[in-house]
């Protein structure tokens, strides 16, 4: 799975930098997908350290947790639909819609597979950014081929790059 999400995160971060955005839309994508069913459970919060590793930040887990919590609060206040449109607009503005969709799909598959609510969020992002349903279906299949079996703990191991043993 890392061969899909690693380059997608790199592409997103580079696109955000070129566009003058900070990388928080990556967090928003993850939170929108994780909360698609109405809650973010403990299994989905396992993905917090995936964000930290993939974004190559120096944030402590506590700070990253605060960023995720802030994203959840914004989504609750503004509404998921409004935040989805904003994320889609940022992705479109940065010419980074497909990497954003790959990240969203990887997160969805990393939890318990792509659920109907997660697919609806992905479709909303894609629709708002002008991506066809056929292209989304292709991206779903691309990411599905790399989806791990075994739940979030196993997914975390496949999402985060493995370092060689010392």
Rounded mean pLDDT, 98-125: 89
Q: Which residues contact 81 (CB under 8 A, 6 or more apart)?
A: 124
Rounded mean pLDDT, 14-40: 83
pLDDT, tens only, 41-54:
555 555 655 666 55
Give the integer Cα–Cα distance in Å for 164 and 166: 6
Range of the domain at 78: 2-158
The answer to the question of residue 166 being in a domain is no
Is residue 46 within 8 Å of 153, Cβ to Cβ? yes
Is residue 34 within 8 Å of 69, Cβ to Cβ? no
CB atoms near residue 6 (< 10 Å): 16
Which pLDDT belongs to residue 76? 87
Report which of residues 109 and 85 the model is more confident about: 85
The answer to the question of residue 153 being in a domain is yes
The answer to the question of residue 163 being in a domain is no
The answer to the question of residue 78 being in a domain is yes
The answer to the question of residue 23 being in a domain is yes
* % residues pLDDT > 70 (the chain): 73
CATH of the domain at 27: 1.10.3680
Give the integer Cα–Cα distance in Å for 137 and 42: 29
Q: Which residues contact 60 (CB under 8 A, 6 or more apart)?
A: none
For residue 75 the two structure tokens come to: 């989504």
Instruction: State the total domains in the chain.
Output: 1
| pTM given for the model | 0.81
The answer to the question of residue 122 being in a domain is yes
- The angle subtended at Cα 136 by Cα 10 and Cα 131, nearest 5°, is 85
Q: How high is the mean pLDDT of the chain?
A: 79
Using the 8-state DSSP alphabet, how is residue 149 labeled?
S
Which pLDDT belongs to residue 52? 60
The answer to the question of residue 165 being in a domain is no
The answer to the question of residue 147 being in a domain is yes
- Most confident range (mean pLDDT) of 24-38, 54-68, 109-123, 127-141 is 127-141
């Amino acid at each position: 799975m890392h061969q899909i999400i690693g380059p997608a995160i790199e592409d997103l971060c580079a696109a955000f930098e070129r566009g003058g955005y900070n990388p928080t839309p990556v967090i928003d994508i993850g939170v929108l997908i994780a909360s698609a069913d109405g809650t973010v459970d403990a299994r989905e919060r396992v993905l917090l350290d995936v964000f930290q590793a993939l974004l190559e930040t120096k944030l402590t887990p506590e700070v990253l947790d605060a960023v995720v919590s802030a994203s959840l609060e914004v989504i609750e206040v503004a509404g998921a639909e409004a935040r989805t449109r904003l994320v889609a607009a940022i992705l479109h503005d940065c010419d980074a819609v497909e990497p954003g969709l790959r990240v969203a799909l990887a997160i969805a598959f990393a939890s318990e597979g792509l659920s109907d609510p997660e697919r609806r969020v992905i479709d909303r992002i894609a629709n708002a950014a002008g991506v066809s349903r056929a292209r989304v279906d292709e991206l779903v299949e691309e990411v599905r081929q790399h989806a791990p079996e075994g739940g979030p703990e196993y997914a975390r191991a496949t999402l985060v790059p493995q370092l060689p043993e010392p």
